[in-house]
Amino acid sequence: MPIKLGANLAEPALTSRHARLAEAAGFDFVAAGEHLYRDERPGPTQLALTALAAAAGATERVRLLSSIIITPLHHPVMLAKQSAVVDQISGGRLTLGLGVGGEFPGEFRALGIPLNERGPRTDEAIRIMRALWSGGPASHAGRAFTFEDVTLNPGPLQKGGPPIWVGGRTEAAMQRAARSGDGWLPYLYRPSHYARSVDAIKGLLEKRGRSLDNFGFGLHLMTAIGATKEDSIRLAAPALQAGYKYDGNYAELAERYVLLGPPDAAVTALQQFHEAGARDILLSWMTPSESIEAQIEVVGKSVIPAIRTAS
């Protein structure tokens, strides 16, 4: 199965423009993540489904991925409805990436949600959303949420709702993906680590009697494509420092976890992830905002054609 590449949308005011550019450049999907706010790393944030609604209206072909929705920050009935609306707007192009979050406790405090409940709330939310997407009235009495006779009209365009891909990088996230997800979407992985996670999830799916057919293996991959590796590191290190709390050297962090240029080196690295089992790889731009359009362009011209030829 060939690699599918996605472009991250991280600038709210430029969401529509960047989505159009990515579609024209040949990307297979676009994606948007979210935070309410980052209490330890101030900077602009967005909400995934709001951004993807804008991207849906600006595009015709690419799929839309939330990468990820911090599920415990949302009421699942509202989240199910918002997802259904975006699925309708896009003509059934939505894939819902869900995760538990937690790296910024302040956003949980702001909404009065206990941080230690984020896992159980996410599990309960997935069950609720699938019930609401089934087409008939749904009721639920659970640990965090209770409601009776709720029907979504319209529901999602995709039968049974958008595919749910579970984000994360822990054993608990892998268990959740195998238990109730349609795909796996980790981050901060190297190829060897990714291959181990694929093997683990395949084993978990087999134990549950679940088929691998149509199960998605995605990857959130920080990316900075420059003319040389050194140029790429110079782009990535300040962006990492702005977004991540880390006690070590950010240039070394970039070398370890960021897809770096030049383009031919990036192609080789993507092929290594593909060999490890990744099928849908989201390129998350780890560069200054003003460089994002150039990143989309260079991937479209020099990376996507090479990947497709190799596949």
Query: Can you give the pLDDT at residue 311?
Result: 64
With a cut of 70, list the residues of the chain below it in pLDDT.
311
Three-class secondary structure of residue 42 per DSSP = coil
**Which region, left, alpha or beta, applies to residue 91 given φ > 0 means left and ψ of -120 to 50 means alpha?**
left
Which residues are within 8 A (CB) of 29 and not within 5 positions of it... i.e. 6 or more apart? 4, 5, 6, 7, 62, 63, 64, 65, 95, 280, 282
Q: Per the confidence metrics, is the pTM higher than 0.85?
A: yes
Half-sphere exposure of 176 (CA within 13 A, CB side): 28
- Looking at residue 21, its pLDDT comes to 98
Per-residue model confidence as pLDDT tens digits over 21-34:
999 999 999 999 99
CA 128 to CA 163: how far, in whole Å?
Answer: 14
pLDDT of res. 294:
97
* Predicted pLDDT of residue 40: 75
Q: Say what the pLDDT of residue 121 is.
A: 98
Q: Which domains does the chain show, CATH number per domain? A: 4-310 (3.20.20.30)
Question: Is there a contact between 64 and 31 (Cβ–Cβ < 8 Å)?
Answer: yes
